[in-house]
Amino acid sequence: METRLTASPVVGEAGQAPSLWAKMTAYNVGKGQLGMSAVTGTPTSKTIYVTRSGLPLSIELEWPFRHATSGADFDVLHTAITLENSEGLRALVAVNLSATLREVLPSLEPKDTEGPVINALRKEVDQKQTEFVKSGKLIPLPLSSRHYNFKLQQWVFGRASDEEIARMIERKVYWQTRLVGGDVWLSDRTEALYLDTTTDHIVEIGARLAKGGLFTMARRYATALPALMEQRARFESEMAAARQQLEEKHAFERG
């Protein structure tokens, strides 16, 4: 069941948003609850999105996009990224959709923008541009030609090799199982978009991993087996290394 609360006013490109976290439209909701996927329109528990560096994230989006109040010609979507398996660390981000990109999109509705927004946020973490804190200001993220190829008319987040896709699947199934539980959907179009591949190809690689005994597969869902869940030290180590690199980068920038 989708939880929809009154949205806070747009705060231009960036600024203080003390109540944003509490006012999020919960498309991704707490553990054990059910939400509604804006892309598939089907009930879903909280989804864990893993970065290429190995950080498990959950992402909340405050729909709809609103036109900026600062006079600039862009639309704003307030979002919150939680670094899972941490001490409540998060980042509040204002996704600023450029007027140029808005003109080529079918609409600003979740069905046309949810996947790209989630992946733009995830890419920003992968590029170490996002800092996770326990409280902080709303920071801007331009959603523009950085993420969309106007010539090819497609979103661009970087093509992944089969080896990278396999690693992402392993991390996805591990963290989703550990943090949320249940079976893990491998035919997620948002994941395919981020890896510049198809859902069929992800499922094909997942089937190969299943033959290795890491999980079972049925109807494009993966069910983790002990052989995967017992690799906790590996996944924790990958997360710790990625988190350390991220924190060191921002500490250096602060001087």
- pLDDT, tens digit, for every residue of 11-45? 434 444 434 444 443 333 333 333 333 344 344 57
* pLDDT grade for 69, boundaries at 50, 70 and 90: confident
Does the structure show a pLDDT above 80 at 197? yes
How high is the pLDDT of residue 44?
52
Q: Determine the pLDDT at residue 251.
A: 86
Phi then psi for residue 170, to 5 deg, are: -60, -45
Write down the mean pLDDT value for the chain. Answer: 85
Please report the sign of the dihedral spanned by the C-alpha atoms of residue 35, residue 38, residue 44, residue 49.
negative
Look at residue 34 in the predicted model and tell me its pLDDT.
34
The per-residue b/e assignment along 179-217, b for 16 or more CB within 10 angstroms, e otherwise, is ebeebbbbbbebbbbbbebebeebbebbeebbeeebbeb
The amino acid present at 67, given as its one-letter code, is H
pLDDT tens digits for range 118-138 = 999 999 999 999 999 987 789
Tell me which residue of 166, 161, 175, 139 sits closest to 16, measured CA to CA.
Answer: 139
CA distance linking residue 222 with residue 207, whole number of Å = 9
Place of tokens 């890419």: 123
Residue 32 is predicted with a pLDDT of: 34
| Per-residue model confidence (pLDDT) at position 7 | 29
Q: Check residue 245 and give its pLDDT.
A: 95
What the chain holds in terms of domains, given with CATH numbers, is 21-155 (no CATH), 162-232 (1.10.10)
Q: What pTM was computed for the model?
A: 0.83
Checking if the pLDDT of 104 tops 60, the result is yes
- Amino acid letter for position 85: N
- Residue 59: count other Cβ atoms within 10 Å of its Cβ: 25
* Bridge partners (DSSP) listed for residue 44: 35
pLDDT above 90 for 203: yes
CA atoms of 44 and 47, how far apart (whole Å): 8
For residue 50, report the phi and psi dihedrals to the nearest 5 degrees.
Answer: -100, 135
